[in-house]
Amino acid sequence: MMARRESRMATRGIQVLHEADVDHEVLTYRYVRMGAQIAADAIELPHEVVLKSLVFRGDETFLFVLIGSDANVSTRKVGRTTGHKHVEAASPRDAERVTGYLVGGISPLGSRTRLPVLLDREAASHDRLVINAGSRGMLVRLATDALIRLTEATIADVRTG
């Protein structure tokens, strides 16, 4: 099922999907406050398929970590996977600066700066995932394979526990 929006409503993330001719569905909800679990509940989808798009600083570089909204990131595992000695969540200001998106609407699709992407192995086991489309209250559902291809994601176990 392909859902398309008029170009004036398209975010950079949705434009990336259009340009790559990727089958996707735009899902919108009334954004009240930030949180992938809040978004999952609003669109009535399981938390494990609605991803958090998190920006981390690894040493002196930034990267995305994509993980189900029901999980938490292990910075130790991210460091081991990427070879960074020190990994921490990016400040909201840095995340907005490097992605060009507002916190609560950050997406690896159409990010101002192309950053390495880690996709949690458990999230990658689902056929379709939901990710922020680049605007608060706008998500996009697409095939996991397409997300991996577009973002050149590395699949890794990055969750706590």
Residue 130 falls within a domain, yes or no? yes
* Phi (first) and psi of residue 54, to 5 degrees: -105, 140
Q: What percent of the chain has pLDDT over 90?
A: 89
Q: What percent of the chain has pLDDT over 70?
A: 94
Over residues 86-95, the pLDDT tens digits come to: 999 999 999 9
For Cα atoms 28, 31, 33, give the angle at the middle one, nearest 5 degrees.
145
Lookup result for tokens 């880690």: 118
Residue 6 falls within a domain, yes or no? no
Residue 7 falls within a domain, yes or no? no
The CATH code of the domain that includes 86 is 3.90.960.10
Boundaries of domain holding 118: 13-156
Distance CA 142, CA 26 (A): 9
CA 23 to chain centroid: 17
Residue 161 falls within a domain, yes or no? no
Over residues 104-152, the pLDDT tens digits come to: 999 999 999 999 999 999 999 999 999 999 999 999 999 999 999 999 9
Residue 76 falls within a domain, yes or no? yes
- Global pTM value: 0.91
Give the chain's domain count: 1
* Phi (first) and psi of residue 9, to 5 degrees: -100, -5
- Residue 84 pLDDT exceeds 70: yes
Residue 142 falls within a domain, yes or no? yes
Residue 26 falls within a domain, yes or no? yes
- Residue 6 pLDDT exceeds 70: no
